[in-house]
Chain A
């Protein structure tokens, strides 16, 4: 009984929600709306659990003077301050309105002068670490690393106007460079008889070469030179090879989510109940 009731609830609500997606009419439409609201109400209670747990861990750490207890103290003080100021909407002086757009509330001041600078500072530090990590990580140690390096290099360049300026004078130079690298990969793979990779790399290389030759044809007949510049290539990388990879990952994830959802709804997967055995 202890297991059957949660399993039945999961099956019932899971099935109704799936049906509601495919039959967006009464009564499923109504069930969909109401259950989404139930979900939000239930999720709101999770903050009590999360907040309570946070306090329990950090207060214990402070009380026992464990290593790093001073940071825990800051966490506790920060949490309680924001909680009190936010819950009671404490005003700086006589003010009307309790909305958070009211700049005469302590909540607003804490957001504007504490939370915002702290979060922005933390994120701004990333620029320095990304620069340092790029310098160390982007080395052409092998073929895969070389491909990654080249893609990163051209995207970095393509995101600035310098990229446009360079290829305005030498259109197609990047495509030719890429075609040579891909040709080199294909040649190397042909020795190991990896014909799929040879075909793929060779086809992309030939396509880039053909694109450049076509681009020059366009340019010579008075067309737009912009056709074979770095920003266009960057767009091509993002829209075709990059998107193909992303789609493959997304489809894989979605298949995993569908199979896991079905396992949970049908009661095959029971680990969320606290144990995977009956």
Chain B
């Protein structure tokens, strides 16, 4: 095989080899549980610090609204964020109000409650410490209405309890009564609608927890209209690292202190190796491209002469 043939082959590697290497890059780190502790970026720290200091800021038990605007395809990125945010909010004794602008979002909220909130924090009571409004269609229109009145759209919660029967709704009329809005968003309706129709109109601070694909589109809102942002798996792992660092060591509950429970940190192993495989193929492709381009140029010169 001549060098020309070799580099030509390098430029057109069968994509099944790429698929195989990506599979291995994901499976091996998952099997051996490679994980790293992440250093938090300012966007991530902003959310963590806000949740930490909110009680002091508002002078009473803080009320936080979390909107689950995603579905299973975005779950690997957004679910680790949802879990660690819920853990952090509970540890900081926030009242948590959950809702969804996406139909499947309600199921995602229920999964977090069933699999993490209820077993890890049995002292947290439904209706007093947390509640789920459920899904309602409307997107921006829905936010527009709850800016003035939650009860216009939600007469009952997702469990069919009348809203007024829940103690934590006694002093809540509209979105102005919230102290913090966190949106787990995978598209539209999502964080853009929360910023434009929720945060901007009420002045309630909004933070977005978005997929890595969506993150670049949201930077224009940061930091004035959106005080913090978790973008993709890396940010999820960074947030988990912050929670783990602050509360993991001193917690008696092995479910909180064990690294294995933190999905983002565990999933950063496969992501790191998959990125490296992609980088490797980009480098190989470019070396082969330049090598064959040089040879093509040389052969053209020979023909011309």
Whether B8 sits at the interface, judged by CB under 8 Å, is: no
A246 x B219 contact (CB < 8 A): yes
Whether B144 sits at the interface, judged by CB under 8 Å, is: yes
How far apart sit A33 and B145, CA to CA, in the bound complex (Å)?
5
- 14 sampled A-B residue pairs with Cβ under 8 A: A24-B201, A32-B148, A44-B137, A115-B72, A119-B71, A128-B18, A131-B19, A134-B282, A135-B285, A139-B289, A159-B275, A160-B272, A161-B36, A238-B219
Contact of A43 among B26, B137, B271, B289 (CB under 8 A): B137
Whether A4 sits at the interface, judged by CB under 8 Å, is: no
**Which residues of chain A are near B232, meaning CB under 8 Å?**
159
A100 x B106 contact (CB < 8 A): yes
Contact of B286 among A29, A130, A138 (CB under 8 A): A138
Query: Known pairs A36-B138, A40-B145. 6 more at Cβ < 8 A?
Result: A99-B158, A119-B72, A135-B281, A138-B285, A160-B276, A243-B220
How far apart sit A161 and B234, CA to CA, in the bound complex (Å)?
10
Considering the complex, which residues of chain A in the window 81-122 have a beta carbon less than 8 Å from any beta carbon of chain B? 97-101, 103, 108, 111, 115-117, 119-120, 122
How far apart sit A131 and B36, CA to CA, in the bound complex (Å)?
23
What is the distance, in angstroms, from A142's C-beta to the closest C-beta of chain B?
12
Whether B258 sits at the interface, judged by CB under 8 Å, is: no
**Which residues of chain A are near B284, meaning CB under 8 Å?**
135
Whether B216 sits at the interface, judged by CB under 8 Å, is: yes
Task: Given A36-B145, A39-B138, A123-B73, answer yes or no on A238-B22 (Cβ-Cβ < 8 Å).
Answer: no
B138 x A40 contact (CB < 8 A): yes
| B 29-49 binary contact with A (CB < 8 Å = 1; else 0) | 000000010110110000000
Using C-beta atoms within 8 Å of the partner chain, give the interface range for chain B. 35 or more
**Which residues of chain A are near B290, meaning CB under 8 Å?**
140
A116 x B148 contact (CB < 8 A): no
**Which residues of chain B are near A67, meaning CB under 8 Å?**
none
**Which residues of chain A are near B285, meaning CB under 8 Å?**
135-136, 138-139
A122 x B219 contact (CB < 8 A): no
How far apart sit A153 and B280, CA to CA, in the bound complex (Å)?
10
Whether A225 sits at the interface, judged by CB under 8 Å, is: no
Whether B160 sits at the interface, judged by CB under 8 Å, is: yes
A97 x B274 contact (CB < 8 A): no
A149 x B286 contact (CB < 8 A): yes
How far apart sit A33 and B146, CA to CA, in the bound complex (Å)?
8
Considering the complex, which residues of chain B in the window 159-208 have a beta carbon less than 8 Å from any beta carbon of chain A? 159-160, 201
A127 x B219 contact (CB < 8 A): no
Whether A194 sits at the interface, judged by CB under 8 Å, is: no
B22 x A127 contact (CB < 8 A): yes
**Which residues of chain B are near A243, meaning CB under 8 Å?**
219-220, 222
**Which of B18, B71, B113 gathers the greatest number of chain A CB atoms within 10 Å?**
B18
How far apart sit A132 and B286, CA to CA, in the bound complex (Å)?
14
Task: Given A132-B18, A156-B279, answer yes or no on A99-B148 (Cβ-Cβ < 8 Å).
Answer: no
What is the distance, in angstroms, from B167's C-beta to the closest C-beta of chain A?
19
| A 136-153 binary contact with B (CB < 8 Å = 1; else 0) | 101111000000010011
How far apart sit A72 and B160, CA to CA, in the bound complex (Å)?
36
How far apart sit A117 and B71, CA to CA, in the bound complex (Å)?
11
Contact of B282 among A99, A119, A135, A235 (CB under 8 A): A135
How far apart sit A43 and B158, CA to CA, in the bound complex (Å)?
21
**Which residues of chain A are near B38, meaning CB under 8 Å?**
161
Task: Given A120-B75, A242-B216, answer yes or no on A33-B275 (Cβ-Cβ < 8 Å).
Answer: no
What is the distance, in angstroms, from A278's C-beta to the closest C-beta of chain B?
31
**Which residues of chain B are near A247, meaning CB under 8 Å?**
220
Whether A260 sits at the interface, judged by CB under 8 Å, is: no
**Which residues of chain B are near A44, meaning CB under 8 Å?**
137
**Which residues of chain B are near A238, meaning CB under 8 Å?**
215-216, 219
B73 x A156 contact (CB < 8 A): no
What is the distance, in angstroms, from B13's C-beta to the closest C-beta of chain A?
7
What is the distance, in angstroms, from A231's C-beta to the closest C-beta of chain B?
7
